[in-house]
Amino acid sequence: MKVYVESKTNKVFFSVTHMTKRFYVYTGLQTTEKFTGMMFPKSDKSAKAKTRRLAELYAKCESYILDHHDESPDMMKEHLKEICTGAKKEDKSPFLSFMKAFAETRERPNTRRSYERTYRCVEAYDGKCSFNTITKDWLEGFIRHEMDKGRKTNGISNDITHIKAVFKKAIDDGKTQNFPFHYIKLKKEETRKRCLSLEQMRELRDAKLHGKQALYRDFFMLGFYLIGINVSDLLTLKKEDLRNGRISYYRNKTGRLYDIKVEPEAMEIISRYRSRKPQYLLRFFEDAGTFDVDHFTNNMNRTLRRIGPKDPKDLRKASPRPIDSKMSTYYNRHSWATFASEIGISLETIGRALGHSVWEKTVTAIYVKYDNRAVDEANRKVIDYLNG
């Protein structure tokens, strides 16, 4: 997918090639002069706002394309239009209408997005379904349909869980008495470990990189030194969140307060990437050329998966042996936990360091204020373990 600016009108489109067919989707944006890339020209008075909006739309469309790569080009084009314009077709399905309204009541953005993905899968399978037509056979057919698309069992299981939740709400509201889930069981697969080995982490840390590879590697390592801090939280840290050698912030996803000691390794990276602007502590958004978290994350994941030894005869080519071809932003968090376990740090301390709520709900936790020093010491030990 690329950005395309029409010469006559200066309207900004996304040029999408899907299943060998190319089509254009209007973003709703116009510019004062033709440009290439993702940045509106400075001659446009609203350049910053339009650049931010373009990045948001690009990330949403890119995410949709990756999740629905088997959709027909015509259907793909219609859905991308809906994303860009916000104008959606009226549902012909009473179930889908109810599901859409239910999804909008979910508090967490990630949960809403997850329901939206399920909604699109159900719509593609049976756009006219109702609470009465969704039966055991329908559900089994839906599962087979999704498996034939090459989807993983865990993703399909999440869809069934979402559909079930919608039915439960509909029963509570008196919309239906049907509940066809009694004999539907989908065994979840064990999640593949998403972490680097100690040697791989050292190789990534010490790699001689330039440009965006260096940027995303430094971001990844800073996340590791800050105990696997979430991408969204790290990108949006405020200057006042760093005080007295500690970073204190409320996580965007849960609202939980985190308080992390900043070790020298983390401070070195922070010092190099401090933002001069008043809005954020760090300038990773600026250096990456995007102000959208999803777009930043997608670009970072693609870049991380290409890092590795280069062919000395052609340094322009991607690495023939990447450090880890599946690497993603989650790896720093999982790697921190794995290293902590390897050096004998208790599961409780690891859980508290990562912010797992189970440790906040124990009976003991009600009476005892947990001492952050245990987490501080654990983080120092993990970093020392990496430093060898």
3-state secondary structure string across the chain: CEEEECCCCCEEEEEEEECCEEEEEEEEEECCCCCCCCCCCCCCCCHHHHHHHHHHHHHHHHHHHHHCCCCCHHHHHHHHHHHHHCCCCCCCCHHHHHHHHHHHCCCCHHHHHHHHHHHHHHHHHCCCCCCCCCCHHHHHHHHHHHHHCCCCHHHHHHHHHHHHHHHHHHHHCCCCCCCCCCCCCCCCCCCCCCCCCHHHHHHHHHCCCCHHHHHHHHHHHHHHHCCCCCHHHHHCCCHHHEECCEEEEECCCCCCEEEEECCHHHHHHHHHCECCCCCCCECHHHHHCCCCHHHHHHHHHHHHCCCCCCECCECCCCCCCCCCCCCCCHHHHHHHHHHHHHCCCCHHHHHHHHCCHHHHCCHHHHHCCCCCHHHHHHHHHHHHHHHC
Per-residue model confidence (pLDDT) at position 320: 66
Q: Is 179 a domain residue?
A: no
The domain boundary residue, chosen from 85, 117, 152 = 85
Distances (CA, A) of 219 to 169, 198, 202, 224, 296: 41, 18, 15, 9, 11
Pair (222, 245) in one structural domain: yes
Pair (223, 353) in one structural domain: yes
Phi-psi region of 121 (alpha: psi -120 to 50; beta: other; left: phi over 0): alpha
Per-residue model confidence (pLDDT) at position 192: 61
Per-residue model confidence (pLDDT) at position 317: 62
Pair (77, 104) in one structural domain: no
Report how many domains make up the chain: 3
Instruction: Determine how many CB atoms are found less than 10 A away from the CB of residue 354.
Output: 17
Pair (304, 334) in one structural domain: yes
Pair (220, 356) in one structural domain: yes
Beta strand 11-18 pairing with 242-243: unpaired
Residue 108 is encoded by which pair of tokens? 């967490």
The domain boundary residue, chosen from 36, 65, 85 = 85
Residue 190 is encoded by which pair of tokens? 């064990």
* Sign (positive or negative) of CA dihedral 109, 112, 114, 116: negative
Q: Is 249 a domain residue?
A: yes
Pair (99, 73) in one structural domain: no
Distance CA 386, CA 382 (A): 6
Distance CA 26, CA 13 (A): 4
131 with 178: CB under 8 angstroms?
yes
Per-residue model confidence (pLDDT) at position 357: 57
CATH number at residue 295: 1.10.443
Per-residue model confidence (pLDDT) at position 57: 93
Pair (313, 355) in one structural domain: yes
Per-residue model confidence (pLDDT) at position 368: 42
Per-residue pLDDT of the chain (388 residues; tens, 9 = 90+): 788 888 888 899 999 988 788 999 999 999 988 888 889 998 988 999 999 999 999 999 988 888 777 677 877 888 899 899 876 665 568 899 999 999 989 887 778 888 988 999 999 999 899 999 999 999 999 999 999 988 888 889 999 999 999 999 999 999 999 999 988 887 776 656 689 999 999 999 999 999 999 999 999 999 999 999 999 999 999 999 999 999 999 988 778 889 999 999 999 999 999 998 888 999 999 899 887 888 899 899 999 999 998 755 565 665 568 999 999 999 999 999 999 999 999 998 999 898 875 445 444 444 444 568 999 999 999 999 999 8
> By residue range, what is the domain housing residue 144?
94-172
Pair (99, 219) in one structural domain: no
The domain boundary residue, chosen from 55, 85, 115 = 85
Look up the pTM and report it.
Answer: 0.63
